[in-house]
Structure 1
Amino acid sequence: MRLVLACVGRLKAGAERDLVTRYLERIRPAGRPLGFGACDMLEIAESAARRPEDRMAEEGAALLAAVPPGAGLIALDPRGRDVSSEDFAARMASDRDGGRPALAFVIGGADGLAPAVRTRADLLLSYGRATFPHQLVRVMLAEQIYRAVTILAGHPYHRA
């Protein structure tokens, strides 16, 4: 199963990019025996539209275009569900076992997700009601994808 992390905005060189890269690199060897491929990060350019609604629509269209055909879609949204790492791992396994060719994880831009992305998502995921910088959310999501793979592998990285 192909994994895709699609995000609006580009991470500059530095600690956040290093952490995201570290977790994404760990996913391939840990996930291969479980049927998961590498996790590709796709960075979508921020829209230059003047109105927030137009920015969300443009970014949303670009995010949806980055989602592989037939893929499951998990989108980060503050109105979404708070799920445990174990439930997140179970969701990934369910999509894999259900024959999905890919699973896409989406982080929108500063204005949020377009309604079209929220509607298309199979799961809206929230990291709580607090607002976090998008760079840190990307690190947190990459880490959770890696953690989910280690949970499914029975690896000691995850300890409840």
Structure 2
Amino acid sequence: MLLHIVARGRIGRSPEADLVARYVKRLAWPVRITELPDQGGRVPPMEPQTRLVLLDETGEAMGSMAFATTLGRWRDDGVREVRFMIGAADGFDDAARAQADLLFSFGRATWPHLLARAMLAEQLWRATSILANHPYHREG
């Protein structure tokens, strides 16, 4: 199952880019990152069997185990791609939220977009590690 991060803004060469690269490199699942300008640009068309996840402060603040369970269920159901959208500074409108399969939040605080991208990459690595029964993560 492809994990596809679509993010507004260019990350360039930065400490956040290093963090994203570090976690993406560890992922055993295929990953694609698409960067869009702050406004405009073409969001790649979604194929059938894609789940849409918006990173949104109004979304669900899931623990790592719950997030892993959701990804595992989608994988087992034959989902081909999970697309994670990181919006511009003004976030997503109600129409975009209504189309999402999941609104996912890193809490009620507002995070810089570059840091949110690094946090997402880490949570994807953690979730796939949990699904692979890696001993690194323990909850409980």
The answer, yes or no, to whether TM exceeds 0.5 is yes
**2:33 matched residue in structure 1:** 41
**1:3 matched residue in structure 2:** 3
**1:17 matched residue in structure 2:** 17
SS at match of 1:110: coil
Q: C-alpha separation between the residues in 2 aligned to 1:20 and 1:107?
A: 14
The structure with the largest helix share of the pair is 1
Matched, 1:131 2:123: no
Q: C-alpha separation between the residues in 2 aligned to 1:108 and 1:137?
A: 10
Matched, 1:147 2:126: yes
Q: Is contact 2:49–2:78 with CA below 8 Å preserved after alignment? A: no
SS at match of 1:137: helix
Pick the aligned partner of 1:103 from 82, 85, 89.
82
Q: How far did 1:67 drift?
A: 3.8
Matched, 1:84 2:63: yes
Q: How far did 1:17 drift?
A: 0.1
| Shift in CA distance, 114/66, structure 1 to aligned 2, threshold 3 Å | farther
Amino acid at match of 2:90: D
| Shift in CA distance, 66/143, structure 1 to aligned 2, threshold 3 Å | farther
| Shift in CA distance, 68/149, structure 1 to aligned 2, threshold 3 Å | same
**Which consecutive aligned stretches of 4+ in structure 1 deviate over 4 angstroms post-superposition?**
none
Runs (5+) with no aligned partner, structure 1? 29-36, 48-57
SS at match of 2:117: helix
Deviation per CA, 1:120-159, whole angstroms, max 9, x where unpaired?
1111011111111111111111100000000011112213
**2:96 matched residue in structure 1:** 117
Amino acid at match of 1:115: D
Q: Is contact 1:71–1:103 with CA below 8 Å preserved after alignment? A: yes
SS at match of 1:6: strand
Q: Is contact 1:4–1:67 with CA below 8 Å preserved after alignment? A: no
RMSD between superposed Cα atoms in Å: 1.5
| Shift in CA distance, 105/9, structure 1 to aligned 2, threshold 3 Å | same
**1:156 matched residue in structure 2:** 135
Q: C-alpha separation between the residues in 1 aligned to 2:53 and 2:100?
A: 6
Q: C-alpha separation between the residues in 1 aligned to 2:117 and 2:83?
A: 13
